[in-house]
Amino acid sequence: MKNNNQKGNTTIVSIVLITVLIVLSMWLLPKYRIYRQDLAGQANLRQQEWEKKILIESAKAKRDSAVLEAEAEVERAKGVSEANRIIAGSLQGNESYLRYLWIDKIADNPNVIYVPTEASLPILEARNKEIK
């Protein structure tokens, strides 16, 4: 009888244990899903924060680059201004040299024929082109 009684007790304990496991899993599974979704949300939030930091740093780099390029352009303009001032100073009172440069540039253009006149204006050669 003891043997049958022990088998009955073992069966009852097994049924109670299985019932407890089923109830426990029914209670834990929804909580685990919520926990997993919370972790996924936190990971997504951190990823978006990281991407935001990358965009901010990229924008700062572009701004710094633009500032440095502007400063370089100002320095180039100062150099050109100084060169123009030097050239203008050296050309004052050199009317004959300027006339020579003007004639030399005209000579490079085959469509212009220089004929000295009283007004020092070039006479342009005009040709009629027939339209076909």
pLDDT tens digits for range 91-123: 777 788 777 887 788 777 777 666 666 666 655
Nearest CA to 73 out of 61, 65, 62 is that of 65
Region for 92 from its dihedrals, namely left if φ exceeds 0, alpha if ψ lies in -120 to 50, beta otherwise: beta
| Distance from C-alpha of 98 to C-alpha of 90, rounded to nearest angstrom | 11
- Determine the Cα–Cα distance for residues 113 and 123; give it in Å rounded to an integer: 6
What's the CA gap between 53 and 60, in Å, rounded?
A: 10
Tens digit of pLDDT for each residue in 38-51? Answer: 999 999 999 999 99
